Structures are given as structure tokens and as C-alpha cells.
């Protein structure tokens, strides 16, 4: 949550948003602080960039059901037909344009007939679109303030949290994924 915020948060606010007690928030923040992952300021608690690294290294992934699809249409057109939150290359391109996107991940709980929308089921290596019904409900939650601040214009569709977009980029087999990740991280730093 702290990685998706622009302003520091109080323990009470963190507890409300996370659905846990203030006492539990205090325990977790104490551990994170001792590891140098968060700092306390007048306004509350704020994540250090090292927390992003820790999260990216330890997040097990969204879980759930994952299907892979291939389409000839532009990725923007493929995504426009699917309700959900957009991630991976296409979302990174919206937030920090760096290269032409070749793949998109959409997180959705909607039952959408992708074949009727011109997509064909395929393996992960040929996919232009991956559809995920995530076990992790935070991906489908309200957009994050940091993602909203990173946008130079309104996004054409809802975006996944920036932490999820970065994680999805790390899973990419693209040779230039590290450069794409750094471009997105730089945009994240500027928005903070």
C-alpha cells in the first residue's frame, strides 16, 4: 500500500485501508523500519525505494487462473474489449513510454468471450494478451494515487497498480525488459 501512495499515511489510515488493527500496523512498520524499508515523517509513514525491491523479489505473483491469447489487432484494440485492469508492456507504455508494447496482461473477473473478439487461444510464448483472474484481490482494487499521478493524460482503461505492472514486466522474456523496468521506475520516482 505504501508503495502505491503519494503522501505519507498514518498508522490508523493504513489499518483502515488494509483491514487490520492499528496495533498490527505498528508491529509491521517496526519490522519494516528496522530493515530500512520505511521512514516516519510528520505526516505518517512512507516507503523507501528499497521496499519496492523487496516486494518485487518476494511477491509470489497474483495466482488464480491464467489463459494466453493471440490477436492480430493492435494491443490497444485487444484490450478495449475486455473489462479489467491492464498491466505488463501496454500499461508501462501508458505510464512511461519507452518502447513499442508487444504484450498485455489483463486482470479481470469478467467472463468475456475472447474468441468472439478476434483472439485465439495459444501458448504463453506466442501470446499477445494474457488474461488473469487473480487470486490476489488487491490488483482489482481502486487505482493507486501514485499510478494516477504518473499519468500525463487519462488512461484509456483502468490500470493495474504500478507495483503489479513492474512485477509483470520482470516476468517478460523480452531482451530489453530491464530498460523498460528502469524507465517505469524512474517515472514512479518522479511521481513520488
User: Is-contact 85 147, C-beta < 8 A?
Assistant: no
Angle at 91 between CA 179 and CA 66, to 5 degrees: 105
What per-residue confidence (pLDDT) applies to 189? 94
- Backbone phi, psi, residue 105, to 5°: -115, 135
pLDDT surpasses 90 at 190: yes
2-58 maps to CATH 1.10.10.10: yes
**Strand pairing of 104-107 and 129-133?**
parallel
3-state SS, residue 189: helix
- Each residue of 142-156: pLDDT tens digit? 768 898 899 988 899
What per-residue confidence (pLDDT) applies to 143? 67
Residues 6+ positions from 59 with CB-CB distance below 8 Å = 163, 167
The C-alpha atoms of residue 38 and residue 36 are separated, in whole angstroms, by 6
Residues 6+ positions from 151 with CB-CB distance below 8 Å = 94, 95
- Each residue of 72-114: pLDDT tens digit? 999 999 998 899 999 999 999 999 988 889 999 999 998 889 9
Q: Where are the domains of the chain?
A: 2-58, 65-191
User: Is-contact 16 59, C-beta < 8 A?
Assistant: no
DSSP designation for 160:
P
The C-alpha atoms of residue 138 and residue 60 are separated, in whole angstroms, by 13
Beta bridge pairs of residue 104: 129
User: Is-contact 96 173, C-beta < 8 A?
Assistant: no
Residues 6+ positions from 165 with CB-CB distance below 8 Å = 87, 88, 91, 92, 95, 159, 184
pTM of this structure:
0.92
The angle, 0 to 180 degrees and rounded to 10, between the axes of the packed helices 49-58 and 162-170 is 50
In this prediction, residue 183 has a pLDDT band, given cuts at 50, 70 and 90, of very high
Amino acid at each position: 500500500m505504501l508503495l502505491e501512495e503519494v503522501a505519507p499515511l498514518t498508522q490508523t489510515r493504513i489499518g483502515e485501508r488494509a483491514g487490520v488493527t492499528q496495533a498490527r500496523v505498528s508491529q509491521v512498520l517496526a519490522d519494516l523500519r528496522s530493515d530500512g524499508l520505511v521512514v516516519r515523517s510528520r505526516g505518517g509513514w512512507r516507503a523507501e525505494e528499497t521496499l519496492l525491491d523487496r516486494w518485487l523479489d518476494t511477491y509470489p505473483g497474483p495466482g488464480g487462473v491464467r489463459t494466453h491469447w493471440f490477436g492480430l489487432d493492435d494491443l490497444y484494440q485487444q484490450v478495449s474489449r475486455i473489462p479489467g485492469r491492464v498491466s505488463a508492456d501496454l500499461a508501462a507504455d501508458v505510464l512511461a513510454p519507452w518502447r513499442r508494447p508487444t504484450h498485455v496482461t489483463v486482470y479481470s473477473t469478467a467472463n468475456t468471450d475472447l474468441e468472439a473478439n478476434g483472439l485465439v487461444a495459444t501458448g504463453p510464448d506466442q501470446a499477445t494478451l494474457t488474461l488473469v483472474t487473480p487470486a490476489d484481490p488487491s490488483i482489482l482494487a481502486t487505482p493507486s494515487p501514485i499510478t494516477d499521478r504518473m499519468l500525463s493524460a487519462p488512461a484509456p482503461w483502468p490500470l493495474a497498480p504500478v507495483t503489479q505492472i513492474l512485477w509483470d514486466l520482470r516476468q517478460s522474456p523480452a531482451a530489453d525488459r530491464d530498460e523498460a523496468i528502469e524507465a517505469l521506475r524512474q517515472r514512479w520516482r518522479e511521481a513520488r
